[in-house]
């Protein structure tokens, strides 16, 4: 009796192959196990590097989306979904973005962040419904995250996104050839080839690491292109806790040379807006003029300071 087609589909995925380096891992010492894991992990950044042209194209798409007032929406299940939630949740405190700008959907909902909801990933209609609930439109970008590339929840969301006119990205550690064989596509495919996992099928390992690196790149590069850094310093953070309040003061002090009290005073005048404080101190502008310059420069501090107006 032939095996079901799903069995063949999953068995043929790169993420489900045996790693020849670790076939005797169950007889290894603890230190040997750690070396095997570490040796394999070193290949991940190199695999991501091979995908930089594809990542760059996706970033350009995301930046265009943000400039139109659109959103980046991650969609994933299990480890992939959790990585999307983490990346989205860190954008507001780091870059001062509204919570709606980068969002994440995970199969099984909020509970799946803490407790595995394995069956939830098998429902493409759930992915589509969750996406439609966000009133998706052509200004948005939907980024599916799936090590296998075939997660039904993710594919359901991507199809719904395409029907709405939204751009689609798929981050996966399955190669393009296998995706084509399975009839899976997106406007932007990002497919780092990390090789078989140390433990066969445990995609929370190398695949998860690769996905984390890619998501970091997508949002970080996009935020830099939106003027949310000055040099390599984050300058659009939100002062939402004591640590971030002190970090904001340090940033202002480091960039402008102001002392602690002056940095605190000017930040107080701006309502905690680091960018405005920088323009005031570096350009010797009052609050109103600094705000106008930043608005004219679309939030870029350097442009606001160089402007002759």
Do residues 59 and 225 touch, judged by C-beta distance below 8 A? yes
Distance CA 154, CA 242 (A): 38
Catalytic residues: 90, 121
Whole-number Å distance between alpha carbons of 277 and 266: 6
| Three-state secondary structure call for residue 27 | helix
DSSP string covering 228-286: -EETTEE------SHHHHHHHHHHHHHHH---HHHHHHHHHHTTS-HHHHHHHHHHT--
Neighbour count for residue 265 (Cβ, 10 Å): 12
Interaxial angle between packed helices 152-164 and 124-132, expressed in degrees from 0 to 180 and rounded to the nearest 10: 40
The tokens describing 15, both together, are 């993420």
Q: What is the DSSP letter of 309?
A: -
């Amino acid at each position: 009796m032939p095996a079901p087609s799903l069995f063949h589909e999953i068995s043929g995925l790169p993420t489900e192959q045996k790693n020849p380096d670790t076939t005797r891992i169950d007889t290894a010492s603890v230190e040997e196990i750690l070396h095997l894991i570490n040796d394999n992990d070193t290949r991940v950044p190199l695999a991501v590097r091979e995908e930089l042209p594809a990542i760059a194209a996706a970033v350009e798409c995301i930046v265009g989306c943000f400039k139109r007032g659109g959103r980046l929406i991650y969609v994933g299940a299990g480890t992939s979904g959790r990585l999307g939630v983490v990346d989205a949740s860190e954008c507001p405190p780091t870059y001062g973005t509204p919570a709606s700008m980068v969002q994440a959907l995970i199969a099984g909902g909020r509970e799946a962040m803490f407790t595995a909801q394995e069956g939830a990933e098998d429902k493409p209609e759930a992915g589509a419904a969750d996406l439609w609930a966000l009133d998706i439109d052509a200004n948005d970008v939907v980024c599916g995250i799936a090590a296998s590339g075939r997660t039904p929840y993710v594919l359901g969301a991507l199809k719904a996104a395409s029907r709405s006119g939204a751009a689609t990205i798929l981050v996966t550690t399955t190669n393009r050839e296998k995706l084509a064989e399975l009839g899976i596509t997106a406007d932007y495919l990002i497919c780092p080839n990390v090789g078989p996992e140390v433990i066969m099928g445990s995609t929370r390992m190398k695949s998860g690491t690769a996905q984390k690196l890619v998501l970091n790149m997508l949002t970080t590069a996009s935020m830099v292109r939106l003027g949310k850094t000055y040099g390599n310093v984050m300058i659009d953070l939100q002062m939402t806790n004591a640590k971030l309040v002190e970090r904001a003061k340090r940033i202002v002090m480091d960039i402008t040379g102001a002392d602690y009290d002056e940095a605190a005073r000017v930040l107080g005048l701006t309502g905690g807006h680091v960018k405005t404080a920088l323009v005031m101190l570096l350009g010797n502008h009052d609050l109103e003029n600094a705000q106008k310059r930043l608005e004219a420069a679309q939030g870029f501090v350097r442009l606001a300071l160089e402007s002759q107006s």
